[in-house]
Chains A and B, each alone.
Chain A
């Protein structure tokens, strides 16, 4: 059965995460009260404000204030969570107008066997910056650079916050949902501008993104299969042998009938 398309009038203009059909199931969230994680919650909520806390797939999640991040990370580290296994941001600009920062911590201490993983989350509005936690966790040096590179979030007091995956002079932040998958204008000309300069754009032409394309007007590359010659070269005469020995189902090409165009039509 074909699914009804009711809302998608101009789906191409929308950010691609607003899939009109797919809606992931919400994960069941347990209460943190009465579980081993309650100790952590008590430690954190003693001085800092915890907006929300729950257990999601065995991981305790704490929503905190952005300004409390660094002191809370220090507490978490002192409680034995000494591995920052992942950190990044989620682009929720389309849905909520904000980023969600998340920091996943893992403990390997024996007294934390029943409470291994916790996640600290906070909300960041697009123009805000956030404190770097690279002083506590050195692996955050790279993760924060990646988050900056891909989402454009600025981390305060990071020792060298520069791009890590994309080139230094890249325009835009590719992991934003608003960034086109195939790149924007400057992305499509990046290597041409960088190597040859902007004046070469007209000579090299736009990117050809359809790998299955055959250019019928192109008389130099593949359109003269069997009779390839170099540019400006003379078409060789048909050999007598080739004319006489005609294989089954194979059409002998007559190069004299083919044309070499001076320029593309």
Chain B
């Protein structure tokens, strides 16, 4: 069997990459965002399509996780009713830090067309939102872009800095 000898000097480089712990950690975090599957209405169909093979979230390292205990990001896809608000908050509280929230679609952002007694008028009344994704319902590409914006945001963060509690509304 032939021996594979790598000539590092040939490429005038050494097998060492210099980086900071911050960027290493943020690289790891941003490229393995596991969303909590939290589909509530029609937006959830678009979210499922984004997870499917045509749009393929897996190549972002994004794998939908059906448990809040190992999730990093909560994608709230759809209308949050007032009866459901308590459970939404409970699931958010069960997610480990650091955690992020994408509010997907008009209903989650502002209550959308459901300007009624039973709908939460914007999910940011109960949990802090990082990315507001407009549209009714947004296309899977839009969700991909939102995820990329979130990755960018994570890469900008200081990995060990204690983040202040996020703002509601």
Chain A residues within an 8 Å CB radius of B160:
none
- A39 to B118: give the CA distance in the assembly, Å: 46
- B94 in the interface (beta carbon within 8 A): no
Specify which of A166, A211, A220 is in contact with B110 (CB 8 Å cutoff): A211
Shortest Cβ distance from A167 into chain B, in angstroms?
5
- A195 in the interface (beta carbon within 8 A): yes
By secondary structure, the A interface counts as: loop
A204 touches B125 (CB 8 A): yes
Report A158-178 CB contacts with B as 1/0, cut-off 8 Å. 000000011100000010000
Chain B residues within an 8 Å CB radius of A192:
125-126
By secondary structure, the B interface counts as: loop
B residues 69-97 in Cβ contact with A at 8 Å: 82-83, 85-86, 89
Specify which of A174, A204, A208, A209 is in contact with B118 (CB 8 Å cutoff): A174
- A114 in the interface (beta carbon within 8 A): no
A207 touches B118 (CB 8 A): no
Which residues of chain A have a CB within 8 Å of any CB of chain B?
165-167, 174, 179-184, 187, 190-192, 194-195, 203-205, 207-209, 211, 220, 231
Chain B residues within an 8 Å CB radius of A211:
106, 109-112, 115
- B19 in the interface (beta carbon within 8 A): no
- A231 to B121: give the CA distance in the assembly, Å: 23
- B168 in the interface (beta carbon within 8 A): yes
- Count of chain B residues with Cβ under 8 Å from any Cβ of A? 22
- A192 to B88: give the CA distance in the assembly, Å: 12
B169 touches A231 (CB 8 A): no
Nearest-neighbor residue (CB-CB) of B168 within chain A: A204
Report B137-169 CB contacts with A as 1/0, cut-off 8 Å. 000000000000000000000000000000111
Nearest 3 interchain pairs by C-beta: A183-B117, A191-B85, A211-B110
B85 touches A194 (CB 8 A): yes
A194 touches B121 (CB 8 A): no
- B7 in the interface (beta carbon within 8 A): no
A167 touches B168 (CB 8 A): no
Chain A residues within an 8 Å CB radius of B83:
165-167
Chain A residues within an 8 Å CB radius of B89:
195
Shortest Cβ distance from B87 into chain A, in angstroms?
10
- B20 in the interface (beta carbon within 8 A): no
